[in-house]
Structures are given as C-alpha cells and as structure tokens.
Amino acid sequence: MFARVVRPVLTLKLTTLLVAALPMLTLVQSVASAQGRSRIGEFTLANGMRGVVVSDHRAPVVTHMVWYRVGAADEPPGVSGIAHFLEHLMFKATDKIPAGEFSKIVSRIGGQDNAFTGHDATAYFQRVAKDRLPTVMKMEADRMVNLKLAEKEVLTERDVILEERRSRVENNPWAILDEQMSAALYQSHPYKIPVIGWMHEMAKLSPADAVAFYKQHYAPNNAILVVTGDVTLEEVKKLAEEAFGSIPANPAIKPRQRPTEPEHRAARRIEYHDARAGKPTLSRTYFAPSYSTAKPGEAEALDILMKIVGSGATSRLYQKLVSDQKIASSAGGYYAASGLDSGKIGLYAVPAEGQTLDAVEAGIDAVIAEVKEKGVTAEELARAKTGYIAEFVYESDNQATLARRYGWGLVVGRTIAQIDAWPEMISKVTLEDVKSAAEKHLDVRRSVTGRLVPVADGKTPVPGRT
C-alpha cells in the first residue's frame, strides 16, 4: 500500500558534494545574491503557527512542508518509536481522506510527497504545481487534527514499522553497532534511543499511545509551515490563514525541555560481533555541541575541522590512512551539528586487506593527535571555507534543500537571520578557532569507540530476545 511512499528515518550525513575551487570573493557575492533572489519572508498566524516563504519564480512549482517541533527524543520513557510510528499513521484516514489515499491523491495531481522523523523534528512535505498548493495545504491542515486511527489499521501499520526495523537495523550489522554506540555515548539524554525505536517497545505500541502522542504534539502552535517556490509571502499567508487559521492552538504545548547530559568522564568502547558483517569497521563518536548549543562560532569551527579531517578523498583521514599508509580501504569523519540538544563528531575507518582494527585505530589516533597539537593549515582552512560556501550557494538553488534548511533551523530554535548568516560565520573561522575546537572536543573521555568484528561469536544475536 505504501510502496510508492518512502519515509526514511532521518539520519544526518554530511553531503559529500564535490566543489570546484571558486574564488572566495565571488562566492560571498553569490551568497548575498542568492539570498536577495530568494526573497525570504515569514509570518505567524493568530493560533501560533509560524510560516516561512522563500519565493523563487523560475518554475511554476512549489515545495510545501509542515514541520512539527516533536521527534523521537520527545517520546515518553518506554514508548520508543511512537514519533516515527505516528508519522506512518498520518497517512491513514481523516473524515475527508480514506486510509492510504493521501499519497495517491498527491500523486494523482502530479505531485510527490514524503515525510521523515528525526530525534527533534517530524516533517511532511509535498512538491506540486503551484496551483495545487491550496489542495495539499488543506490536506495537511486536515490531518493535523482530524486523524482517525482505527485499531485494525494501527496494528497493521505496526507490522510495517517492525518490518522496517528488521530490514534497516536487524539486517545491518553496522546499524546495530551504531545503535549500541549511541546507547553507550549518551548517559541520560534520549538521543541514546534509536529514532525507529527499540524492537521490544515497538512491538507493544498501541492505538492509545499513538493518539496520546498525536494529541499532545500535533497542533498549529507546534508547527512550522515552509513553502518554497513560485509563490509570494502574501499568497502563502492568505492560503495558510484559510487552511490552518481555524485550528485552535493547544495551550498545553510548552517549549521542549529534555534531560541534559552529565559530564562525560570516561572513554567507552564497544565491540559488536556479527558474522554477517563482511568487513571489520572502526567507528568513533564524540559527544559535542550543536549549532543550537555551541558558543558563538564554535559549531562553525567544528564544521571546518571535520571537513578537513574527514570529508572526502582530500581529507586528512583519507589521505593518511588510505592514500599514504594504505592501512585502510576507506576512512572519514563528519560533524552532526543539527541536534536541538547536542551534536556529535564521528570518525570511521575500514582496514585494508590484511590490516587490523588496531592499525586503523592507531592511524586515526595519530591524525587526531596531530590536529589537536598543530591545528590545520591556512590552505586547508581556505579550501574548507570555499567548499562550504559553494555548497551553501548550490543548495540554495534547490527548493527542497532550501525548505529543509529553514524548516530544520526553525524547529531547533534558530532564527532566519542566523540561518542566513552561516556563510558569513564560516568565513570568519580562524586557524586558532579550529585548533581550539579540536583540542576541546576531540576529547576521548567524551567518546565511544566501536568495533564491528565479522565473527560468529558462538551464536548470532536474535532480535527481540533478551
């Protein structure tokens, strides 16, 4: 029934966009011009629903997104997976739309739709011809508060998410290691719990759980409307007023407040054995700030640092471990910067044929020690800045990416001004900023190091058994 609709559990990965080395000056001018061309505007309805519009009249299409300030990290203890489950159930019936028809209607009017759930946000979006915007907006408004969840449909859909977990996690040793590492990295914060949920808790999710979560979190004052494309601010504001304006605010919705992490004091290690893993892998994640929690400029410095250390074939990890020493067949790293409550830094390497996990870990440690001690070079810094600013410009040309940028930013509490200032902030990062960020945040005491070892270990883990 949902074959056409792919609704991924959101995982953040650094886009590995290959960027031509454009001169810096041109790029900063392009940023200004891209923003000028975008004509960004925002409004807030009387019921508290925020709206952001990015006009782009080059083609008669629009991307329409509704973002909710709720994700897996807002789930009650023991009810893991309910945020993502509800995202699936949002494609069930209202009084106006029969179960399973939502995506078919969008498809019939020539559009595409999708949805995703992360730890901090849940979003629904459609891309349609501009004259279909009122239709999809009314459909989104309808399911914001009028969802009807028949028990049988809920239980059938539960089988779908269980199968989704089986195929995406249980059949993927790397995903299992990643889950176990997150569970060990976070000491208190719900980011430790996977977005899709723990199998044994997903299996018990009930219609009542879904209804309670829906009523608690889905309301206009917890939603952000983002429309990009061939529309004006005034047009969208009028349509939004018509579609969403009559839905009352839920006064029980308060700013989110989750447990914060205690100090991380001891390096952790995990070893996961799974005969299905083709190759061993070394993975390390460090607890770090995000754009929402970092001191000014710090997240930008981490972005620069990790581009230099881990992004692509020119990165230090790849150059040292793969190209020079030939001890790894792949190596890299990333900075996941978008969390509401924290971010994380990740590093990984796969040993080359005949090489060991110990060897690649020592190689990674040497790269980290060097960057902490000596920082990066002026040339690396300039290249990283150029790369990011170019990515920003190119991504600004894509309706969906642009909508996602503003939706995500607003959901985690940033302002449009902050989001737009990113290239400027990136351009200000100094060599000293990068070195300080490395010294402070590549601290093994705040890390977990994971090893995926392709051995049988007596028995293969059986999902769902304890």
User: Using CB under 8 A, which residues numbered 102 to 121 contact a second copy?
Assistant: none
Task: By CB under 8 A, tell whether 58 contacts a second copy.
Answer: no
Task: By CB under 8 A, tell whether 44 contacts a second copy.
Answer: no
Among positions 273, 344, 383, 385, the unique one binding a second copy when judged by CB under 8 A: 273
Rounded CA gap, 289 and 443, in Å? 13
CB 360 within 8 A of CB 282: yes
Kindly indicate which of the ranges 183-191, 332-340, 381-389, 427-435 contains the residues binding a second copy, using the contact rule CB under 8 A: 183-191
Cα Dmax for the chain? 66
Kindly indicate which of the ranges 76-84, 112-120, 347-355, 414-422 contains the residues binding a second copy, using the contact rule CB under 8 A: 76-84
Task: By CB under 8 A, tell whether 264 contacts a second copy.
Answer: yes
Among positions 262, 296, 379, 417, the unique one binding a second copy when judged by CB under 8 A: 262
Kindly indicate which of the ranges 14-22, 135-143, 238-246, 257-265 contains the residues binding a second copy, using the contact rule CB under 8 A: 257-265
Among positions 4, 57, 96, 269, the unique one binding a second copy when judged by CB under 8 A: 269
Nearer to a second copy, 273 or 385 (CB): 273
Total Cβ atoms within 10 A of residue 293: 17
Phi and psi based region of residue 110 (left: phi greater than 0; alpha: psi -120 to 50; beta: remaining):
left
Task: By CB under 8 A, tell whether 138 contacts a second copy.
Answer: no
Task: By CB under 8 A, tell whether 1 contacts a second copy.
Answer: no
Nearer to a second copy, 364 or 390 (CB): 364
Task: By CB under 8 A, tell whether 180 contacts a second copy.
Answer: yes
Rounded CA gap, 55 and 44, in Å? 17
Task: By CB under 8 A, tell whether 20 contacts a second copy.
Answer: no
Active site residues: 87
SS3 232: coil
Rounded CA gap, 457 and 273, in Å? 6
Task: Tell me whether strands 223-229 and 50-55 are parallel, antiparallel or unpaired.
Answer: parallel
Kindly list the distances between the CA atom of residue 430 and the CA atoms of 289, 379, 385, 459, in Å, as whole numbers in the listed order: 19, 12, 10, 51
Nearer to a second copy, 53 or 169 (CB): 169
Nearer to a second copy, 201 or 365 (CB): 201
Nearer to a second copy, 13 or 459 (CB): 459
Shortest separation between residue 179's beta carbon and a second copy, angstroms:
8
Nearer to a second copy, 73 or 390 (CB): 73
Shortest separation between residue 369's beta carbon and a second copy, angstroms:
12
SS3 279: coil
Which residues in 30-76 belong to E strands, given as ranges?
40-44, 50-55, 61-68
Task: By CB under 8 A, tell whether 166 contacts a second copy.
Answer: no
DSSP code at position 188:
S
Count of residues near a second copy by CB under 8 A: 43
Task: By CB under 8 A, tell whether 270 contacts a second copy.
Answer: yes
Smallest Cα–Cα separation from 61: which of 133, 135, 115? 133
CB 427 within 8 A of CB 28: yes
The per-residue b/e assignment along 254-263, b for 16 or more CB within 10 angstroms, e otherwise, is: eebeeeebee
Kindly indicate which of the ranges 153-161, 243-251, 391-399, 457-465 contains the residues binding a second copy, using the contact rule CB under 8 A: 457-465
Among positions 131, 445, 455, 456, the unique one binding a second copy when judged by CB under 8 A: 445
Task: By CB under 8 A, tell whether 208 contacts a second copy.
Answer: no
Kindly list the distances between the CA atom of residue 24 and the CA atoms of 29, 147, 385, 424, in Å, as whole numbers in the listed order: 9, 50, 8, 11
Burial class (CB in 10 A: 0-12, 13-18, 19+), 423: buried
Kindly indicate which of the ranges 89-97, 140-148, 227-235, 252-260 contains the residues binding a second copy, using the contact rule CB under 8 A: 252-260
Nearer to a second copy, 11 or 460 (CB): 460
Task: By CB under 8 A, tell whether 266 contacts a second copy.
Answer: yes
Total Cβ atoms within 10 A of residue 149: 19
Kindly indicate which of the ranges 99-107, 246-254, 258-266, 417-425 contains the residues binding a second copy, using the contact rule CB under 8 A: 258-266
Nearer to a second copy, 146 or 356 (CB): 356
Shortest separation between residue 194's beta carbon and a second copy, angstroms:
9
Smallest Cα–Cα separation from 7: which of 95, 59, 84, 76? 84
CB 443 within 8 A of CB 286: yes
Using CB under 8 A, list all residues that contact a second copy.
77-78, 80, 176-177, 180, 183-184, 187-188, 190, 192-193, 198-201, 257-273, 445, 450, 457, 461-466
